[in-house]
Every structure is written in C-alpha cells, then in structure tokens.
Amino acid sequence: MKRLALAIAGALGLGGGALLSAWPAHAAADPARGERIYARCLACHALAYHRVGPRHCGLLGRKAGAAAGFEYSPAMRQSGLTWNAQTLDRFLAAPMKVVPGTTMTYDGVPERQDRADLIAYLRNADSTEACRAGEAAGR
C-alpha cells in the first residue's frame, strides 16, 4: 500500500509525504485528540481517583476489575481481561456486549480512530502530574 501510494505520488509529482499524510489508513493514534474524546468518559471517570467508575491511571497492563478500593461488578472482576490496546479497543467498542453485566452502562465509542486516539491518551496519561502524584501517595 505504501509503495503504491509513493508510486502514485511520484507519478503525480507530489512529495510522497504529502500524499501519505492525507492517507486515512495511515492515520497514527493522536493522544491530544484522545484527550478531547476522554471528555465523554469524565461524566463517570477521572484519571487519578475513583468516581462512578474506577481511576484510569495505570490502566494499561492492569487486570480488569483490579484497581484497589473500587467496588467492581462481579462481571468485570471475572472477565479475565487484562487491559492493553487490543482488549481496550474491543471493550470500548461495546462495553456491555464485551463484559455482559458490567455496571459501565455506556454505549461505547463506535469509531475505530476515536478509540485508538483515546487509548493513546490513556497510555500517555500515566506520565502526567495527576497520575504521578497518585502513585506517590500510594494510590
């Protein structure tokens, strides 16, 4: 695909970069855009502390239902999931289908690119002040 795009770009006399950057299939995950999408989650979640939903600092690499001090549904605790880019992508597409019985009564994020950006944001969030402060406090 890349070589084809470059060949087309070459044929059109364009810089390959210019064409490739406008090629949607090559769009990279954008954590800044993900932060804006995370606004949808703020109704129930915060990065650094539990609200209606559990805190999200340290999410990637954590087992589902394992943040200390949050009362999860049995469905989440027993889901057998560990959060990584793949499991988050699946869960966030359709939370109530992927973990039937979850108390996260939210329809999900239908757009694949939105989920990718959101996951990039969550991954980066661990290095933010909010998350590091919580870690220092032993949360």
- Rounded to a whole number of angstroms, the minimum distance from the CB of residue 78 to ligand HEC is 10
Contact 89, 60 (CB under 8 A): no
Shortest CB 136 distance to ligand HEC, Å: 20
Give me the least distance between CB of 23 and ligand HEC, in Å please: 26
* Selected range binding ligand HEC among 4-12, 20-28, 61-69, 127-135, rule: CB under 6 A: 61-69
Cα dist from 91 to 13, 64, 86, 88, 107, whole Å: 43, 11, 9, 5, 10
List the one residue from 47, 48, 57, 92 that touches ligand HEC (CB under 6 A): 92
CB 134 within 8 A of CB 48: yes
Closest CA to 79 of 68, 67, 91: 91
CB of 126 to ligand HEC, least distance (A): 14
Q: Which is nearer to ligand HEC, 48 or 59 (CB)?
A: 59
- Concatenating the DSSP letter of every residue in 23-55 gives -GGGPPP-HHHHHHHGGGTTTT--SSS-SSS--
Q: Which of 43, 61, 97, 111 binds ligand HEC (CB under 6 A)?
A: 43
Nearer to ligand HEC, 6 or 46 (CB): 46
Dig out the tokens for 113 from the structure: 């690119």
- Identify which range of 3-11, 17-25, 26-34, 48-56 contacts ligand HEC by CB under 6 A: 48-56
